[in-house]
């Protein structure tokens, strides 16, 4: 498999970059009132392309964890050192998430600090996933598969078998979060990264770890065979998730088992495609735009999030006398003349993506990477 610098897997950087670029694009429309269906989340049940982004990233974290642990073990790191590294890394990611939520660091924001969140979930499930990986000494693939199964069964039992249902108003995740974290959620009565769905989010990460084991432990098989197996398992999981949908709906907010199967299967298919294009066909240069995002994902996520929040906070009076944010003013002045409001909204998102590529490319040329 093609590696570049410090043994990085180029196909994985491509997959990661596609995911991060997609995240920046969908998080930065010019007008939230004009977002086309593929670039917005499903209101409740179901899934859009945007609903693939977060589980794809967790899948990639699981795959990367396997590659990283195996590299560190070959360099002489023992399990205790690997565990310390994983716990510190997970905590660091979570702390950065809390700092982003607290920005601009007013007393009021600290008092109602959002405890769950995207980075917090990544940090927590990474640390928990590392514990599972390091606890498995032999037959890791079987152990990971069993762990995924147990987590999904437990999560399904909680969402269906505790007297609650799958509605927005009466689900177990909402009940638990309000009992434990009331006043510290994304919305007053809801958070999509809640406590209960952390179980199934961990399962998503472990499916990525399974993919990593398939790629690294199957060296006796040809690369084409391993890619084929990855694609076959991906297709099977995707189909299983869709088949479960009528009984246990795909739902990102609840992170249902069907959603895990569907999104992990889709992630395996995309990773297999990236491996085929880069490693079998030898094509990588046309995708360098996305690889740039994949090499500095943490920096891209944090800086893009902070800039978007800052531009929303900077306001002054518009022509009507009402406050208008800097981001809104830029959107209206540069893209407001476009005839279609959806085109204008997504043109702004594309310009934002291009801006961050320029920034990250400048960092890449200088070898500046934010590694946690």
What residues have CB less than 8 Å from 182, skipping those under 6 apart? none
Q: Which residues of the chain have pLDDT under 70?
A: 1-8, 218-219, 318
* pLDDT 10s digits, 108-121: 999 999 999 999 99
* pLDDT 10s digits, 211-231: 999 988 766 788 899 999 999
Q: Can you read off the two tokens belonging to residue 50?
A: 């945007």
The residues pairing with 324 across neighbouring beta strands, listed in sequence order, are 316
Q: Where are the domains of the chain?
A: 3-365
Q: Can you read off the two tokens belonging to residue 269?
A: 């298919």
The residue among 92, 102, 25, 16 whose CA lies nearest residue 60 is 16
This model's pTM is above 0.85 = yes
Give me the percent of the chain exceeding a pLDDT of 90: 84
The residue among 242, 209, 226 whose CA lies nearest residue 250 is 242
What is the per-residue pLDDT for 5? 46
What residues have CB less than 8 Å from 217, skipping those under 6 apart? 140, 141
Bridge-based pairing of strands 3-4 and 8-9 is antiparallel
Report d(CA 201, CA 155) in Å as an integer: 10
Residue 42, Ramachandran bin (φ over 0: left; ψ between -120 and 50: alpha; else beta):
beta
286 exposure class (CB count in 10 Å sphere: 0-12, 13-18, 19+):
exposed
What is the per-residue pLDDT for 1? 57
What is the per-residue pLDDT for 280? 87
What residues have CB less than 8 Å from 62, skipping those under 6 apart? 129, 204, 205, 206, 207, 208, 209, 210, 211, 212
Q: Which residue pairs, CB below 8 angstroms and at least 24 apart, start in 254-257? A: 254/159, 254/166, 254/171, 254/173, 254/196, 254/197, 255/155, 255/197, 255/200, 255/201, 255/204, 256/155, 256/156, 256/159, 256/166, 256/200, 257/152, 257/153, 257/155, 257/156, 257/200, 257/203
């Amino acid at each position: 498999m093609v590696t570049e610098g410090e043994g990085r897997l180029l196909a994985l950087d491509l997959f990661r970059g596609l995911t991060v670029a997609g995240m920046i694009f969908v998080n930065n429309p010019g007008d939230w009132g004009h977002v086309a269906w593929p670039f917005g989340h499903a209101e409740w049940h179901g899934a859009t392309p945007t609903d693939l982004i977060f589980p794809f990233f967790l899948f990639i974290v699981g795959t990367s964890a396997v590659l990283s642990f195996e590299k560190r073990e070959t360099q002489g790191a023992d399990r205790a050192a690997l565990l310390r590294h994983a716990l510190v890394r997970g905590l660091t990611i979570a702390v950065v998430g809390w700092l982003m939520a607290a920005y601009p660091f007013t007393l009021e924001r600290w008092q109602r600090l959002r405890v769950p969140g995207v980075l917090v979930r990544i940090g927590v499930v990474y640390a928990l996933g590392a514990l599972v990986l390091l606890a498995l000494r032999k037959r890791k693939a079987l152990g990971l598969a069993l762990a995924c199964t147990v987590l999904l069964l437990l999560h399904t039992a909680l969402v269906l078998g505790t007297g609650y249902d799958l509605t927005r108003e009466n689900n177990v995740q909402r009940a638990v979060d309000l009992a434990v974290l009331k006043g510290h959620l994304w919305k007053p009565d809801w958070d999509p990264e809640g406590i209960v769905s952390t179980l199934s989010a961990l399962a998503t990460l472990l499916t990525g770890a399974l993919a990593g084991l398939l790629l690294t432990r199957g060296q006796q098989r040809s690369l084409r065979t391993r890619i084929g197996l990855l694609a076959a398992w991906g297709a099977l999981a995707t189909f299983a998730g869709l088949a479960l949908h009528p009984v246990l709906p795909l739902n990102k907010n609840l992170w249902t088992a069907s959603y895990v199967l569907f999104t992990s299967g889709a992630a395996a298919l995309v990773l297999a495609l990236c491996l085929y294009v880069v490693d079998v066909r030898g094509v990588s240069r046309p995708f360098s735009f996305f690889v740039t995002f994949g090499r500095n994902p943490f920096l891209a996520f944090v800086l893009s999030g902070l800039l978007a929040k800052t531009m929303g906070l900077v306001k002054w009076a518009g022509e009507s006398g009402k406050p208008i944010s800097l981001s809104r003013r830029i959107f209206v002045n540069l893209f407001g003349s476009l005839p279609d409001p959806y085109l204008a909204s997504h043109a702004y998102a594309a310009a934002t993506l291009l801006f961050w590529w320029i920034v990250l490319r400048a960092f890449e040329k200088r070898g500046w990477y934010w590694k946690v």
